[in-house]
């Protein structure tokens, strides 16, 4: 399929070829769901912890004798039924991360790219650089291409100065084409892609 390449001033520069299997395939909602769920699970810290009755500090002695008081039997004050006692079946530190099959990840990314392309959210622009590394210079360059909506800028390589300029923009995320986040890409209102990044995605996800 053909796609327009825009200049930073908003005018059309030329057209490039996009792989149908990457930018025009049928969207798999299931793969997208599993990819985002996997990313969220892998980010969880899993440090929540509660104390059982064995870990609560306190005496093992009975608070009163077994019989003759008219009150219910009580073994010790660390029982879960007492205030300040242990917790029954409470959370313990655990690892929530798990591995998602590569085929599912690839299908999810291709599905999201196709979805963004079909809904006219995706726009390809000519590659540029911010030599100064300043945020205001990057905003000035992007202001004619996108507004201040939640935007992801997909670049072809790890451009240090460009990432430095974009790190302080709340509504902008910069990611390289081979390190995309399904969550960030899916929930972005606008997807801006460098021309070289689009060409790289054709081969990175295409034909597999």
Model pLDDT for residues 152-165, shown as the tens digit of each residue: 999 998 888 898 99
| Co-location of 181 and 141 in the same domain | yes
Last residue of a domain, one of 54, 70, 95: 95
Contact in structure between 195 and 125 (CB atoms under 8 Å): yes
Q: What is the pLDDT of residue 207?
A: 62
Residues 6 or more apart whose CB falls under 8 angstroms from that of 8 comprise 125, 126, 128, 141, 142, 144, 145
Model pLDDT for residues 77-121, shown as the tens digit of each residue: 999 999 999 999 999 999 999 999 999 999 999 999 999 999 989
| Co-location of 58 and 155 in the same domain | no
Give strand pairing partners of 176.
155
Instruction: Find which of 2-11, 117-126, 139-148 is predicted with most confidence, using mean pLDDT.
Output: 117-126
Q: Please state the domain count of the chain.
A: 2
Between 31 and 139, the more confident residue is 31
How far is it, in rounded angstroms, from Cα 159 to Cα 124? 18
Maximum CA pair distance of the chain? 94
Burial of 120 (0-12, 13-18, 19+ CB in 10 A): exposed
CA-based nearest residue to 112, from 195, 175, 160, 46? 175
Asked if the model's pLDDT at residue 26 lies above 80, the reply is yes
Q: What is the pLDDT of residue 140?
A: 86
Q: Name the packing angle between helices 29-43 and 102-118 (round to 10°).
A: 120
Between 146 and 40, the more confident residue is 40
CA-based nearest residue to 53, from 101, 10, 90, 16? 90
| Co-location of 190 and 120 in the same domain | yes
Q: Which domain holds residue 19?
A: 2-29+99-205
| Co-location of 90 and 104 in the same domain | no
Between 145 and 76, the more confident residue is 76
pLDDT band at 208 (very low <50, low <70, confident <90, very high): low
| Co-location of 52 and 151 in the same domain | no
Contact in structure between 53 and 81 (CB atoms under 8 Å): no
Model pLDDT for residues 43-65, shown as the tens digit of each residue: 999 999 999 999 999 999 999 99
Residues 6 or more apart whose CB falls under 8 angstroms from that of 188 comprise 116, 121, 150, 151, 152, 173
| Co-location of 59 and 19 in the same domain | no
pTM confidence score: 0.85
């Amino acid at each position: 399929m053909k796609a327009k390449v825009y200049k930073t001033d908003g005018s059309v520069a030329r057209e490039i070829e996009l792989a149908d299997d990457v930018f025009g395939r049928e969207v798999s909602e299931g793969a997208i769901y599993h990819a985002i769920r996997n990313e969220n699970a892998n980010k969880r810290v899993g440090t929540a912890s509660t104390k059982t009755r064995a870990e609560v500090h306190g005496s093992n002695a009975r608070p009163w004798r077994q019989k003759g008081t008219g009150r219910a039997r009580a073994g010790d004050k660390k029982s879960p039924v007492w205030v300040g006692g242990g917790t029954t079946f409470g959370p313990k530190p655990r690892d929530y991360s798990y591995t998602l099959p590569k085929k599912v990840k690839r299908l999810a990314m291709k599905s999201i790219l196709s979805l963004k392309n079909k809904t006219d959210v995706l726009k390809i622009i000519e590659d540029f650089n911010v030599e100064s590394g300043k945020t205001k210079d990057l905003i000035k360059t992007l202001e004619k291409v996108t507004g201040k909506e939640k935007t992801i800028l997909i670049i072809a390589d790890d451009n240090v100065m460009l990432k430095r300029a974009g790190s302080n923009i709340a509504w902008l995320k910069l990611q390289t084409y081979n390190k995309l986040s399904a969550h960030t890409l899916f929930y972005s209102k606008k997807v801006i892609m460098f021309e070289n990044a689009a060409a790289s995605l054709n081969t990175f996800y295409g034909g597999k």
